[in-house]
Amino acid sequence: MKRSSNKLQKKNASQPQTENRGKPSQLKLLQLNAPEIWTNQHKCLQIIKYLTDTGRHNFLHQAGKHSNKDVDHENQQYNQDTKIYFEQAQEIAEKLFNIQCSSKRCIVFYFRYINEEKITYDFSEYIQNKDFVEILSSIQLLLTKSFIQDLIIILSSHNSINSITDMLLENKGAPSNYSHIIKNFFIQKKIDTMIEQKTITPDIETIRNEFEDFLKDPQTKYLVRVFICDILSIFYTQTTDQSNLDEQFEMAEVNDFDNIYQ
């Protein structure tokens, strides 16, 4: 038995080592550093996800067949109605706001259009926070020019959140001149209203008047304030200047909606 064991040990010792096979003989450790692009930065991913979740309005319908014909008919009718509402929303976005929709029944805010010119900013000229500058520099080519200007106002302003909100809501003349933040909330409201009331407004002048009323609605101001707070919250979380966060940014400033009317 001992001789057999010795033979087995010799056989194992004679087998070639395979753990370094395929690597140069002098290479003991291979270490790759992730490239410095926005997809490898958690903060950038947070911002892009937030903007996608809140600024993308896309008509989706469930594929496949149902065994219940009555349910299938109801779903088909609902999908057909909802499809019309999204087509109406796309028409509003294109005619009233000059938004370029790259596909049917899909309205996207905040992000750069396919044919839109790429503009590179030196954000250090506007913003002192180095972390903010780095984040914006990483994602700027993904965003539309007008929204980048909104971000500069939000992140560089020493004014209160209410002041920034008033600045975004002040009279800009034509509806197309307003911030993507404002346009996005209006389109979302129109889609929700059409689905709830099961009706559309084909007259563009009527919709233009609705937009003017929307600008004066206290709820609109509330929504814009919440958006600003959300953006600031993402940017400030775990940054080097978090200790310098001004008291006016605290979410307590965003009161309950009922308080707006008091």
Q: Domain ranges in the chain? A: 37-240+247-261
For residues 233 and 23, what is the distance between their CA atoms, to the nearest angstrom? Answer: 46
What per-residue confidence (pLDDT) applies to 49?
95
Q: Are 19 and 26 in contact (CB under 8 A)?
A: no
Q: Are 179 and 168 in contact (CB under 8 A)?
A: yes
What per-residue confidence (pLDDT) applies to 63?
53
What per-residue confidence (pLDDT) applies to 88?
93
What per-residue confidence (pLDDT) applies to 67?
53
Residue at 48: amino acid letter: I
Residues 6+ apart with CB under 8 A from 168: 150, 153, 178, 179, 181, 182, 224
What per-residue confidence (pLDDT) applies to 256?
38
Angle of helix 130-139 relative to helix 145-156, nearest 10 degrees, comes to 170
What per-residue confidence (pLDDT) applies to 6?
54
What are the tens digits of pLDDT across the range 96-106?
Answer: 999 988 888 99
For residues 143 and 240, what is the distance between their CA atoms, to the nearest angstrom? Answer: 25
Q: Are 219 and 260 in contact (CB under 8 A)?
A: yes
What are the tens digits of pLDDT across the range 194-227?
Answer: 999 999 888 999 999 999 999 999 999 999 999 9
For residues 139 and 137, what is the distance between their CA atoms, to the nearest angstrom? Answer: 6
Task: Identify the segments of the chain with pLDDT beneath 50.
Answer: 11, 18, 239-262
**Strand segments (E) across the chain:** 56-58, 106-108
What pTM did the predictor assign?
Answer: 0.75
What per-residue confidence (pLDDT) applies to 5?
52
Q: Are 169 and 182 in contact (CB under 8 A)?
A: yes
Query: From residue 136, how far is each of 34, 43, 180, 181, 228 by CA, in Å?
Result: 19, 10, 17, 17, 16
Q: Are 251 and 229 in contact (CB under 8 A)?
A: yes
Q: Provide the 8-state DSSP code for 115.
A: T
